[in-house]
Amino acid sequence: MALFSNIIISPKPFVLSCSYQNTHLSKTPQNTKQDAIFKIKGPATLSGHITISGSKNSSLALIAATLCCSGSSLLHNVPNISDIQAMASILCSLGAKVESFDGKMMVNSDGVGKIEVDLEEMRKIRGGFFVIGPLVARFGEAVVALPGGCNIGKRPVDLHLRGLRALGAVVELRDGKVCAHTANGKGLVGGRFRLDYPSVGATETLMMAASMADGITLLSNVAKEPEVVDLARFLNDSGASIEGAGSDTLVIRGKSQLYGSECVIRPDRIEAGTFMIAAAITRSCISMSPVIPSRVSCLIDKLSEAGCKISQVDQHTLRVSAVPELYPGDDLKSFGIKTSPFPGFPTDLQPQIMALLTTCTGSSLVEESVFDNRMSHARELQKLGARIQVNGNSAIVFGKDKGSSLCGSRVIARDLRGGASLILAGLAAKGTTEIHKIEHIERGYENIVTKLQNLGADIERSTLPSLSSLV
Ligand code: EPZ
């Protein structure tokens, strides 16, 4: 099978026998609550090659989209992380049959009998909200707990709800739940909707909903993220008619039925970006694959601006070198970033870049424009000796010649990407760094300890008496 090919399987292949079987997901560490930590001895020098896993955010959207499809869908290259497990269990709680094995996930949602996703399930993963579109579109109604905010911002879902109303849904908020059903009692109806902000989630919800609406839908000012393109590709291979994915306008001709298809999840651009920054912050040279260079082009530009040497070894392999070439002092220079929707600089790499900038020469301005509260990692980086001045959603990061000097200490991961930035800082810091609340990190990075160990990092995962003694 070509690296990223899609094959249509006949609509009625076979029915799976069990509700939810995971033969490979169960290996994810269960008891990460409070007593597991990462211990890193630095400074590290990395070398070698790593394999990038399938995209977490594409997987979450595609798993939700299997609810639109009759028959079975088979997803390949699904990462073994707790967010995926949580999403699979949401589908099971609705009555879908899910089986995962060897990085594959087979989903059959013909048996869905429940249209309510309860708060408990939703608490595990915000992405669970994405099921609202497919449930209303295919089953006519949905009751989904409001996801609420998280450590990186308020994260409202108003665009999802207003968009569904524009497609003929009646949407009410009752007791902290979103209750939606088709106004005509038959199905959603094609319409026009302009998103006030190119939200990834709202674009994905409305794309799934409109794929099964009666008539044509025009969505404008939509998100252009690669995960949106991956979702459109999967839906089109399942019989939908979506044009314009990757641009700011989508034209969707609704179909009464979609059929299960087979799809290979694209590599995770944020995981790839995190490892590219790992090479830079440790002044090392590593290669990685598979990577789709166009999906990390913004980062490639920024790291090159700093002085890294980035080369494309082959179509899907990148090499990143930050090894000082000329003389020991020849080092990475500071640079500024402002996060924005794709193809702008990804907000999911902002914390990792902040860690890197503390080791560069000069000072840098980091501006966060996507989320309203994504600076909490700065406080933890300061515990490691970073000099950072936060002012609302921007921060001045002072480099190693301006007072930052990373030294190992105890820190807390407060969210997924913030946690990743602490691993990177720990790799560059002198001494031992202990990262607590690693369940945040294990939500989105598959086998991160093993991958870093294979690159020569001195990192281990160990358990400790509960955290409360720390804060
Ligand atoms: C997706 O979140 C990703 N999550 C996030 O990755 C990523 O940071 C984000 O897109 C931006 O790229 C998944 O795909 C599961 P948004 P999503 O809707 O869809 C506002 C990670 O680390 N907004 O594009 O929730 C919102 O408040 C995660 O992997 C509204 O105002 O992001 C935010 O400020 C973190 N109303 C902005 O849009 C809405 O109805 C961007 O949010 C929806 C969003």
**C-alpha closest to that of 142 among 209, 73, 219:** 209
**Rounded CA separation 204/187 (Å):** 19
Measure 155 CA to ligand 1 centroid, in angstroms. 7
134-155: average pLDDT: 88
Inform me whether the pLDDT recorded for 284 exceeds 50: yes
467 pLDDT band, cuts 50/70/90, is low
The phi, psi pair for 216, rounded to 5°, reads -100, 140
Which residue's CA is minimally distant from atom 16 of ligand 1? 199
The yes-or-no answer on residue 150 being catalytic is yes
149 pLDDT band, cuts 50/70/90, is low
Specify whether the CB–CB gap between 69 and 260 falls below 8 A.
yes
Strands of the sheet with 141-145, listed across from one edge: 116-117, 141-145, 177-182, 169-174
What predicted TM-score, i.e. pTM, was given to this entire model?
0.93
Joined together, the tokens standing for residue 312 give 């494309």
Mutate to test the pocket of ligand 1, among 55, 199, 376 (most ligand atoms within 8 A of CB): 199
What pLDDT sits at residue 148?
A: 64
Q: pLDDT by residue (tens digit) across 17-38?
A: 444 444 444 444 444 456 899 9
Which residue's CA is minimally distant from atom 43 of ligand 1? 157
224-232: average pLDDT: 98
Between residues 156 and 11, the one the model is more confident about: 156
Specify whether the CB–CB gap between 348 and 270 falls below 8 A.
yes
Which residue's CA is minimally distant from atom 14 of ligand 1? 57
Joined together, the tokens standing for residue 4 give 């990223």
Joined together, the tokens standing for residue 239 give 């019989």
Which residue's CA is minimally distant from atom 30 of ligand 1? 156
Which residue's CA is minimally distant from atom 13 of ligand 1? 57
Q: pLDDT by residue (tens digit) across 39-65?
A: 999 999 999 999 999 999 999 999 999
Mutate to test the pocket of ligand 1, among 132, 370, 440 (most ligand atoms within 8 A of CB): 370
Q: Helices marked H in 251-409 — which ranges? A: 269-281, 297-306, 350-357, 376-383
Catalytic-role residue among 18, 69, 92, 150: 150
Joined together, the tokens standing for residue 210 give 């409109």
**Rounded CA separation 107/91 (Å):** 9
Dihedral angle over CA of 343, 344, 349, 350, nearest 10 = -170
**Rounded CA separation 324/361 (Å):** 13
The phi, psi pair for 443, rounded to 5°, reads -65, -30
Indicate which atom in ligand 1 lies nearest the CA of residue 154: 27
**C-alpha closest to that of 273 among 335, 353, 342:** 353
Q: pLDDT by residue (tens digit) across 113-122?
A: 889 987 788 8
Q: What percentage of the chain exceeds 70 in pLDDT?
A: 89
Inform me whether the pLDDT recorded for 326 exceeds 80: no
Inform me whether the pLDDT recorded for 469 exceeds 80: no
Measure 15 CA to ligand 1 centroid, in angstroms. 35
Q: Ligand 1: residues within 6 Å at CB?
A: 56-57, 60, 127, 153-160, 197, 199-202, 223, 225, 227, 347-348, 370-371, 416-417, 444
Measure 456 CA to ligand 1 centroid, in angstroms. 34
Q: pLDDT by residue (tens digit) across 353-409?
A: 999 999 999 999 999 999 999 999 999 999 999 999 999 999 999 999 999 999 999
What pLDDT sits at residue 10?
A: 39
Inform me whether the pLDDT recorded for 69 exceeds 50: yes
What pLDDT sits at residue 103?
A: 96
Please provide the DSSP assignment of 442-457 as one string: HTT-TTHHHHHHHTT-
**C-alpha closest to that of 171 among 143, 191, 147:** 143
Q: pLDDT by residue (tens digit) across 185-222?
A: 999 999 999 999 999 999 999 999 999 999 999 999 99
324 pLDDT band, cuts 50/70/90, is confident
Measure 199 CA to ligand 1 centroid, in angstroms. 6
Q: What percentage of the chain exceeds 90 in pLDDT?
A: 82
Which residue's CA is minimally distant from atom 42 of ligand 1? 199
Mutate to test the pocket of ligand 1, among 162, 200, 353 (most ligand atoms within 8 A of CB): 200
Measure 251 CA to ligand 1 centroid, in angstroms. 22
Measure 233 CA to ligand 1 centroid, in angstroms. 20
What is the rounded average pLDDT for all residues in the chain?
91
Q: Report the interhelical angle of 269-281 vs 416-428 (nearest 10°).
A: 20
What pLDDT sits at residue 3?
A: 42
